[in-house]
Structure 1
């Protein structure tokens, strides 16, 4: 009997339908010589510290570090019944086809079960990028050998064990040290969550320490041959800061008067550059989450859930947890089928699809840049838009537009920069002339922030020596603005592009082409976990770190909170996946590092900078304990101006 082991029931039903496994049984679907069964995500979990000794039930510095010699897993209580079904089916199987999600976590979900149930038979791998019938049939005809994807399992195990070593040991270590210093909360430390938290804490610090500085701009309204345009005053080098801003009001006022007195500005020089902007690539998950955060106000987990529903439930788009924005060259042959499916899904597209050039082969079709997955695109199967929620439809349309953009020309424009002189003052004007709207036209809305009007204006015909009339001069009083709080989309982008935040040039170069902090599959859950633990507070779209988060970042070792360090760990996991580093060597190195940290910090006395209660959910101020009719509660320290409250909860001493 050949057993297909899927990651979740919906996936199992889709594969079973193609295999003809239609007879229902307990926890599986049965077909001729084939059975399809499924997990509910991870059925197993790494055993807690007490599984390695009763003494580890209590938290004590004397018990640290905890480094298992033989790692153990346990069946999750909620999924014990399904585990028993899979165990029985594995004992009867002659061949197992792993049909979990095509990534390292999917590999681990299946392989841990095979190992715990002592399955020793042949293993094959079904590698799916979409769950529509055509994609499943194609993948079934090209099954991979189990050995080919086995390194993914070791990579996932390495991630899991490193997370366990750091989370269990350092959470206990710093919580216990915090209690000695008078802090009664839990200081939860994680290999990925702590560096992620550091990004938000650093932004909060930058906002808190920011000092706004006044500066002045002079906007000059000019015209030539009756056509108006706007120019900006260029302060002299001695009167500007490093950003080119004028910090002296007197200097700006003098410039205004000089320009007014001059009555006309003379063109000194013109420089025109031609630009061709290629269509945006199809989405990977991070970019989709970033754009959905900015355009639709969605949280990153919400975006992932919607993308997963479009993939699993609606069969409208391909595998969502992709870290790649490119497409295999072979998929270009499927373009007609995708277009047909899009038209059946949404007949309103008929005119738009007819205007596309299906023969265009954009930069997206590039085998050399395709990883284990390809960009997120529509499938060759039509979908039912009426069954989608409004948000699902909006996300689907974003994915669709990125795909259709591949069949539109480049966006082409000329950008002209003009330098003018008025009296002794220098002015500059920038103009943009769109030559070919291309992909920014009918089907696709630009994902970048709109340019200021004066940078996208159409200039009149100018040449050196042209005299332009001064119609108006405006002195603008401005102030430098503090950095904006991070949104979930901003945080995802920062996690992915962590190399920009690293100063060490050698480390920066190593990180430039890596995935950064976390993976496409885990970043959303990391952010959600930080919010659920109360480390991150969400006010509308903005994220802010709580008082406990600031405490944690103050006391943990720099290396633990360093975004560059965790990205190097992720790089090591890629090395395991590639077979250039062994699981045992990686875990041993992590265990040795943890031992050194425990030895160093275990004898130190921490200075806890914040002993306050939680942060007010309404205004982000600190909270203090007050007594009410029903007992003590947290109240905003700004009461009665702010009436935010929160219940007092006891922290459970568990990382």
Structure 2
């Protein structure tokens, strides 16, 4: 997934497109996307100085429900967005808080609480407002804890929330990382139990010279949980941009049939944007939902994907440790080694869909809905088919992409390539057997001298060989008649 995203970014070709903006005096309406600049100019010219009429006004009351509580993955994602923490760092900080009895069990995939926790959660809200710095001063008159209750969505562990122990701990003494994570967890309980955010969305359709334009606006009816979110983020002073309530775009009072004389028009140039490199936040989301193209983050659907909340951080850290991926600030990129690996791995194996399907079958086995023997039979057949189909192709690719050619084999004429401990013939299948060890008599033989040995049958004079008795000597390496290596000694000085 990371290699594919990197490829898409590097090979993205931006495309130019245009819109025509119609300035009606009190608001601006825009056309749909126009691909041809000449067409956009013609529309702008035909509308400039003419009369525009409002043909339709649509108003709709919309509701944005509060966010759910944290499971481990959503906590890791937000910690990355706001503080730049890696998934492993977020897990380590949360685990430490859990061991201090300040938060509940972290390795959970549930974002809900059980019915027996309703009163506990309600009592916690006031405790949070009294003890958590980013929530102090907030007034939550009637928190709706029932919104966070769903027994059917809690399997082994419920959502991550603070514990009552926060009232008895000097939170200012916590390390920054732990305190920041605790702030996020506490704030989420406040937001999840607050009122929904309600606004009126308005869309205005405008006609000018038989060309269609539109403008949209929002009017806040009840800020609800978003008011608390803005206040909390300002106090957190996180790295994430804070959304100001005043940034909402509004429209003036308008009526259907209203006419605007002598409007002005202009052509606006746009470019399509490339996909963005993965961050830990967006990659965790992609891992969580891989193989489920219809996944809705806000819907109560079964999650399937790569790994589990408890293992995703370790997967990323392993890829970094093995130098397949690297972090550059918040972004994640593949290394040359990672790109080379994906280039030779069969499509069937590197498919995120395949792994996600296996994860789903393992969940079904756990619930008794799938026979483990059938699953293992499928895996064995799959591995057998893949091995037979790609084994020879992969070996050849490995030789071509990973081994440096030193010269021609004096026994069979194929390439002699460099390995970790030797320079050997690539013709291993026919067991050519030609080999020159890199270390001979405690002396490292360079690739340069090996090339001379293959080309001329003899190296330069190499100094510093050491016999078994520990005596040093100088000699030429030579190829003997049987194509093994031997020594030729320089004449002794009289």
Tell whether the structures are fold-level matches, with TM greater than 0.5.
Answer: yes
The structure 1 residue matched to 2:341, chosen from 536, 552, 564, is 552
- Aligned pairs for 1:534-545 (under 5 A) are 534-545=323-334
For 1:572, the equivalent position in structure 2 comes to 361
Q: Is the 8 A contact 2:30 2:213 kept in 1?
A: yes
- Equivalent positions of 1:249-328 (< 5 A) are 249-262=37-50, 264-313=51-100, 315-328=101-114
Aligned partner of 2:160 in structure 1 is: 376
1:404 maps to which residue?
190
What's the counterpart of residue 485 of structure 1? 277
Distance 1:443 1:544, change over 3 A: closer
Counterpart in the other structure of 1:232 = 30
Give SS of 1:560's match: coil
- Partner in structure 1 of residue 401 of structure 2: 611
Q: Please give the secondary structure, in 2, of the residue aligned with 1:611.
A: helix
Number of the residue aligned with 1:173:
none
Provide Cα deviations, 1:258-315, integer angstroms capped at 9, x if missing partner: 33221x42110011111111110001111122222222222221222222222223x3
Q: In the alignment, is the contact (CA less than 8 A) between 1:411 and 1:439 conserved in 2?
A: yes
Partner residue, 1:117: none
Aligned counterparts, 1:166-245, within 5 A: 199-223=1-25, 228-234=26-32, 245=33
Provide the residue aligned with 1:496 in structure 2: 288
| Secondary structure class of the residue paired with 1:460 | coil
1:216 is displaced (CA, Å) by 1.7
Post-superposition shift, 1:349?
Answer: 4.5
Q: Aligned in 2, Cα 1:207/1:346: closer, same or farther, shift over 3 Å?
A: closer
> Are 2:124 and 1:334 equivalent residues in the alignment?
no
Q: How far is 1:577 from its partner?
A: 2.4
Q: SS of 1:462's equivalent?
A: coil
1:366 paired with 2:150, answer yes
State which structure, 1 or 2, has the greater radius of gyration over its C-alpha atoms. 2
- TM-score, L = length of structure 2: 0.71
Q: Provide the C-alpha distance between the structure 1 equivalents of 2:80 and 2:126, rounded to a whole number of angstroms.
A: 30
CA distance in structure 2 between the aligned counterparts of 1:232 and 1:292, rounded to whole angstroms: 37
- Work out the CA distance in 1 between the residues paired with 2:190 and 2:242: 22
Q: Per-residue displacement from partner, 1:436-456 (whole Å, max 9, x unpaired)?
A: 111111345699998999994
In structure 1, the residue matched to 2:140 is 355
CA distance 1:334–1:476, shift in 2 (3 Å): same
Comparing 449-458 with 565-574, greater Cα deviation is found at 449-458
CA contact (8 A) 1:258 1:425 kept: no
Q: Give unpaired runs (5+ residues) of structure 2.
A: 296-300, 404-445, 447-494
Going from structure 1 to structure 2, the CA distance change for 1:591 and 1:414 (only over 3 Å counts) comes to same
* SS of 2:348 mapped into structure 1: helix
Quote the Cα distance in structure 2 between the aligned partners of 1:391 and 1:357: 31
Displacement of 1:211 in angstroms is: 1.1
Determine if contact 1:554/1:609 at 8 Å carries over to the other structure. no
Asked whether the 8 Å contact 2:134–2:187 carries over to 1, the reply is no
CA drift at 1:361: 3.8
Alpha-carbon distance change, 495 to 610 in structure 1, aligned in 2, over 3 angstroms: farther
Taking structure 1 as reference, are residues 548 and 257 closer, same or farther at Cα in structure 2, changes over 3 Å only? Answer: same
Q: Displacement of 1:424 after TM fit?
A: 3.2
Match of residue 647 from structure 1? none
Question: Conserved in 2, the CA contact under 8 Å of 1:430 and 1:455?
Answer: no
Which SS does the other structure have where 1:289 is aligned? helix
Tell me by how many angstroms 1:430 deviates.
0.4
Deviations 1:125-161 (Å, cap 9, x if unpaired)? xxxxxxxxxxxxxxxxxxxxxxxxxxxxxxxxxxxxx
Contact 1:230–1:454 (CA under 8 A) maintained in structure 2: no
Deviation at 1:316, TM superposition (A): 2.4
1:528 aligns to what? Answer: 317
2:268 to 469, 476, 485: 476
Specify whether residues 387 and 269 from structure 1 end up closer, same or farther in structure 2 by C-alpha distance, changes over 3 A only. Answer: same
Q: Deviations over 1:512-570 (max 9, x none)?
A: 72331100000011011111111112222221112222222222222221111111221
* TM-score where L is the length of structure 1: 0.54
C-alpha distance in structure 1 between counterparts of 2:285 and 2:17, whole Å? 31
CA positional deviation for 1:355: 3.2
Q: CA deviation at 1:325?
A: 0.8
Residues 212, 479 of structure 1: 8 Å contact kept: yes
Unaligned runs of 5+ in 1: 1-198, 235-244, 506-511, 614-631, 633-655
Change (3 A) 1:443 1:490: closer
Alignment correspondent of 1:597:
386
CA shift, 1:608, in A, is 5.5
SS at match of 1:282: coil
d(CA) in 1 for partners of 2:249, 2:207: 20
Cα displacement (A) at 1:474: 4.2
- Are positions 1:414 and 2:200 aligned together? yes
Q: Give the count of matched residue pairs.
A: 390
Cα deviation code 1:188-245 (max 9, x no counterpart): xxxxxxxxxxx1111112122221111123333333xxxx3332123xxxxxxxxxx2
Matches of residues 58-69 of structure 1 in structure 2 within 5 Å? none
Correspondence for 1:395 = 181
Q: 1:217 to 1:309 in 2, by over 3 A?
A: farther
Tell me, what secondary structure is at the counterpart of 1:381? helix
Structure 1 residues 338 and 311: alpha-carbon distance in aligned structure 2, compared to 1, 3 A threshold: same
State the distance in 1 between where 2:281 and 2:229 align: 24
Aligned pair partner of 1:466 in 239, 255, 258: 258
